[in-house]
Structure 1
Amino acid sequence: MEDLTHLFRLAADHAADYRRSLPDRPVAPPDQAALARAFSGPLPATPTPPQQVVADLLAAAEPGLVASAGPRYFGFVVGGALPAATAADMLAVGWDQLAFNAVTSPAAIAAEATAGAWLKELLDIPTTASVGFVTGGQAANTAGLAAARHQVLADAGWDVERRGLIGAPPVRVIAGAERHATIDRSLRLLGLGVDAVRPVPAGPNGAIDPGALRDVLRAGPVGPTIVCLQAGNVNTGACDELREACELAHRHGAWVHVDGAFGLWAAASPTTRHLVDGLELADSWACDGHKWLNLPYDTAFAFCARPDSHAAAMSLSAAYLVGSGGVPAGADLTAESSRRARGFAVWAGLRELGRDGLAAVVDRCCALARRFADGLTAAGFEVANEVVLNQVLVGFGDDARTDRVVAAVQADGTCWAGGTTWRGRRLMRISVSNATTTEADVDRSIAAITRLAA
């Protein structure tokens, strides 16, 4: 066991050194060519001492690490990982708990219960809602839409869990034209298919037009209907008008699912809460923890206002599964049975920030996004969206030049931003989500982008 202490300290010391280096580290890895050689080779025939394995892993991986947890990584709406949450996740790995239910790990399920209650309080989600601790927005959207599928078909007299979809009443899915791609994949995974979608046109900044939603709802066909709304357009950050849209959908008997992977966190700040007004009226919600909450990968949440529908869609039972069948928790609310205990990191991250700290993170990221927009506009470039949250779209002339600038920025390593296509144009997409990003990081990034664009 003393060998374990030395081994774990070696890993922890390296992780701490790496995290301390992030503010000064090039964001893009300088040398990726050596990666294949470093990791390749024949499988050893004989055992290798654990300390040697870890030392070899450190040497092999270092050239290919991307500083995505650092303060100048602005791609993919990626946050960092809070210190207490990181340490809690390291403990979760060391404890090696199976978070299936309260029999396999009472502590893991208790952490999820309290963290889930805190999350609902922060996000203004009904206290009676269930919370599934899942891997990411894809899994959260799938769980929410599975609950929706269960309920709208049950209302039509069809047991989809028992009978499947062959012969079932067709389910109509109404979603914004600029919905996230994970909505479509969830529909594929659930057997509803992308052809079930009736798209709703988006307004100038990417949020759906409530009038257009009304028209699509009225157009029929009448029958089981799911409406997918969005809090935080993946390109612009725009949020649908949730209150009006939920009321419209419910008048037509539809289930409302909100994809709020990052935008739902707007509810955690008094400054931005108005952008998601009415979110409590929905039936299910998806939200990522590894975005604005700055938790380690992989952490996300599937909330459902009808816990019985949530459990009916996701749970399983078997004679050997001791402890199953009580109040839905753990694996009852996710598609995983062999679950890692990600609730420890959630509990720790929420404790570390507190209500005021989380609001400050949201507010600071939004302010820094506006600083990006102002600085790049002053440098003569075009900001193509209204900056309402933490997303900034920038054009550098024609599409080809924009792509060249994006590629140059990624190769330079001062900061990292991705490219996207929005409204038929190629644009640089900047997402400010890291709790450690400062004004100096933004200014340094603006200077680098300006230099490279020239």
Structure 2
Amino acid sequence: MSLTDLARPGAAPRATLDRALTNPTSLALARERIGLITEAARRAASYVAGARHRPIAPDPEAVAALDAFRRPLQDGPRDAREVLVELDTLGSPATVAQAQGRFFGFVNGGVDNAAGAAALLAGQWDQNPALPVMSPVASTLDEVAAGWVLDLLSLPPTATATFTPGATLANLTGILAGRDALLTRAGWSVNADGLFGAPALRVITGEEVHVSALKALRLAGLGVDRIERVPTDATGAIDAARFPTDTDHLTLVVLQAGNVNTGASDPFEAIIPGVRERGGWVHIDGAFGLWAAASPLLRHQVAGAALADSWGTDAHKWLNVPYDSGIAIVRERADLERTTAMSAAYVASGDARPLMSLGLQMSQRARGIETWAMLASNGRSGVADLIDRTCARARLFASLLCDAGVEVLAPVALNQVMVAFGSAPGGRGDDAVTAAVIEAAQREGTMWAGGTVWKGRPAMRISVSDQATTEDDVRASVAALLECWEAVRA
């Protein structure tokens, strides 16, 4: 109810409203909140200013100091400012500096300036956009951002995009929609009868399917031991010549845009048309790789992705939107709503985009706001530049390390680099040496990269996903890696 409504006849008398607005307790609470917000913003700015000048990982003393948080909950309240000071004093030194240009682990994105600032403001808005009436601004920005995402990814403009906590939930949303659509076409209603006695679905993926897609399939009740895995080529992409040609109307196929180790994508144009012609459903796990479609230079690597039935991706990876923000996209809205729609008298809605009926959550964070801010700030060319620039940094990484005698295990397709360190420059990578270099580099602190396994071999994976990474960051990181390698060999 607005202030104007309150002043109308039959509503709260103006004097009552005035008393509410000038109540000493309410004023004190408002002043305290404003002061805390200002102090929190000051401390956040101080953290950002200093983060580039500290080791990427926290030192052991900072981690040990976190034990101070492990205490019984006190009986009475504490001053909120005192709590904020404790959080900053103990918490800030124990963070991993993931958004300062030299964190290359886990395909973690950084923080776009506009998106980070929008997150601060939206956090105080504290909007729940489950229904448009609950937050017109959050619902509007969600709608606009979703449309822009479809446009940037060259996906059907009539598809429905909805924000999720991450790509795992985005994949789950698409897979559930596909499961229910296939069974509905076969005359079975999951909503009415569940999965007991339902026709069996055939599930096909590649050997290099990501664990998040496997988790989504498991949560969808499609047992991972029953999945057919198609062999992949040297880049980790499905070998199209070995993909089954006998799929049918009960087949669910999960493909991949952006192998987590190499960045390579499955051959969509060679696989998707046949699967869909035979009545099957194709979902693409494109957590980061799908964003190659936003680059005129790289979109050929995901050619044919728009032919699928559903897609899952992240905004908090390559788009550099703050955590957490994934995006589920389904070609036909009816297929999405069959799985996610809900209704009750107290939440009845005739709105065009009731988010509680377009995803797995009812109450939810207004995730679309930060993506809107990032896209509104960068535009089409800015997003393309982000993709191209980080890929160029990855190629520089590979080139410098290769020149120094480090083994590069796969061609750099996008922003992922895999290397192994040998007992001597120019030699084949040695498992023990590689593991030791990874540990030494993480301890040294100039940069951070983690380990992986590629074709049975331990490797270091370097993921360049942060918009803040410069050429100088790459060169400084390579220099640190080579020093660590030399120390390990010594």
Which band: TM-score by shorter chain? over 0.9
Q: How many residues align?
A: 449
Other structure's SS at 2:329 match = strand
Other structure's SS at 2:52 match = helix
The one of 30, 35, 39 equivalent to 1:6 is 35
In structure 2, how many angstroms separate the alpha carbons of the residues matched to 1:196 and 1:356?
43
In structure 1, how many angstroms separate the alpha carbons of the residues matched to 2:133 and 2:392?
45
The corresponding residue for 2:276 is 250
Q: What is the CA distance between 1:272 and its match in structure 2?
A: 0.3
Other structure's SS at 1:158 match = coil
The corresponding residue for 1:118 is 148
Q: Deviations over 1:287-309 (max 9, x none)?
A: 10011100000011000001111
Using structure 2 for the length normalisation, give the TM-score. Answer: 0.90
Tell me the amino acid that sits aligned with residue 151 of structure 2. E
Tell me the amino acid that sits aligned with residue 438 of structure 1. T
User: Which structure has the larger Rg?
Assistant: 2
Matched, 1:307 2:333: yes
Q: What is the CA distance between 1:34 and its match in structure 2?
A: 2.3
In structure 2, how many angstroms separate the alpha carbons of the residues matched to 1:38 and 1:81?
29
Q: Percent identity?
A: 45
Tell me the amino acid that sits aligned with residue 51 of structure 1. R
Q: What is the CA distance between 1:87 and its match in structure 2?
A: 1.4
* 2:240–2:270 CA contact under 8 A, matched in 1: yes
* 2:340–2:360 CA contact under 8 A, matched in 1: yes
Q: Deviations over 1:90-120 (max 9, x none)?
A: 1221011111111211211111100011011
Matched, 1:266 2:292: yes
Matched, 1:71 2:97: no
Alignment of 1:365-376 (within 5 A): 365-376=390-401
The corresponding residue for 2:26 is none
Q: What stretches of structure 1 of length at least 5 have no aligned partner?
A: none
Alignment of 1:11-410 (within 5 A): 11-31=40-60, 32-213=62-243, 216-218=244-246, 222-323=248-349, 326-396=351-421, 397-410=429-442
* 1:311–1:328 CA contact under 8 A, matched in 2: no
Q: What is the CA distance between 1:365 and its match in structure 2?
A: 0.6
Using structure 1 for the length normalisation, give the TM-score. Answer: 0.97
In structure 1, how many angstroms separate the alpha carbons of the residues matched to 2:274 and 2:93?
53
Deviating 4+ runs (over 2 angstroms): 20-25, 31-38, 325-329
* 2:56–2:447 CA contact under 8 A, matched in 1: yes
Other structure's SS at 2:132 match = coil
Q: What is the CA distance between 1:245 and its match in structure 2?
A: 1.4
Q: What is the CA distance between 1:248 and its match in structure 2?
A: 2.2
* 2:66–2:94 CA contact under 8 A, matched in 1: no
In structure 2, how many angstroms separate the alpha carbons of the residues matched to 1:35 and 1:427?
32
In structure 2, how many angstroms separate the alpha carbons of the residues matched to 1:202 and 1:248?
19
In structure 2, how many angstroms separate the alpha carbons of the residues matched to 1:37 and 1:250?
55
Other structure's SS at 2:344 match = coil
The one of the two structures with greater contact order (alpha-carbon pairs below 8 A, sep at least 6) is 1
Moved more, 163-172 or 242-251: 242-251
Q: Deviations over 1:310-350 (max 9, x none)?
A: 11112222222142x54344121221111011111111011
Q: What is the CA distance between 1:2 and its match in structure 2?
A: 2.1
In structure 2, how many angstroms separate the alpha carbons of the residues matched to 1:195 and 1:328?
37
Q: What is the CA distance between 1:258 and its match in structure 2?
A: 0.6
In structure 2, how many angstroms separate the alpha carbons of the residues matched to 1:327 and 1:160?
25
The corresponding residue for 1:438 is 470
Q: What is the CA distance between 1:62 and its match in structure 2?
A: 2.1
In structure 2, how many angstroms separate the alpha carbons of the residues matched to 1:80 and 1:186?
25
Q: What is the CA distance between 1:188 and its match in structure 2?
A: 1.2
Q: What is the CA distance between 1:41 and its match in structure 2?
A: 2.1
